[in-house]
């Protein structure tokens, strides 16, 4: 029964730490922290928009033998 309590305490500690981290990011205290938070938010928006517009679910490249041979190049040594 003590392992359940320990896991709950550990999970609670992790969640409290994450909550404090989010609070610090939402209300930065110094100008440098504000600038860092803004830069990270902009980067996050860019990454999410790239994922949505460039890499939609069905837009995966086809990888076959011909594509790999174009990537690697022709075989240059003779078979033995």
SS (H, E, C) 32-56: HHHHHHHHHHHHHHHHHHHHHHCCC
Number of domains in the chain: 1
Residue 37's pLDDT is: 81
Average pLDDT over residues 28-33: 82
In a domain, 61, yes or no: yes
Has residue 77 been placed in a domain? no
φ, ψ for residue 25, nearest 5 deg: -75, -30
Q: Bigger pLDDT: 50 or 76?
A: 50
pLDDT computed for residue 38 by the predictor: 85
pLDDT computed for residue 8 by the predictor:
75
Spatial separation of the C-alpha atoms in residues 12 and 15, rounded to whole Å: 5
The reported pLDDT for the residue numbered 79 is 66
**What pTM did the predictor assign?**
0.44
Mean pLDDT of the chain: 79
- Alpha carbon separation from 29 to 37, 41, 43, 56 (Å, rounded): 11, 16, 21, 38
Residue 80 lies in a domain: no
Domain that holds residue 23: 2-72
């Amino acid at each position: 029964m003590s392992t359940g309590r320990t896991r709950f305490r550990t999970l609670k500690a992790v969640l409290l730490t994450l909550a404090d981290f989010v609070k610090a990011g939402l209300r930065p205290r110094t100008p440098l922290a504000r600038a860092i938070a803004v830069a990270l938010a902009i980067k996050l928006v860019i990454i999410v928009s790239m994922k949505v517009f460039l890499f939609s679910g069905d837009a995966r490249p086809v990888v076959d033998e011909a594509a790999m041979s174009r990537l690697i190049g022709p075989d240059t040594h003779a078979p033995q």
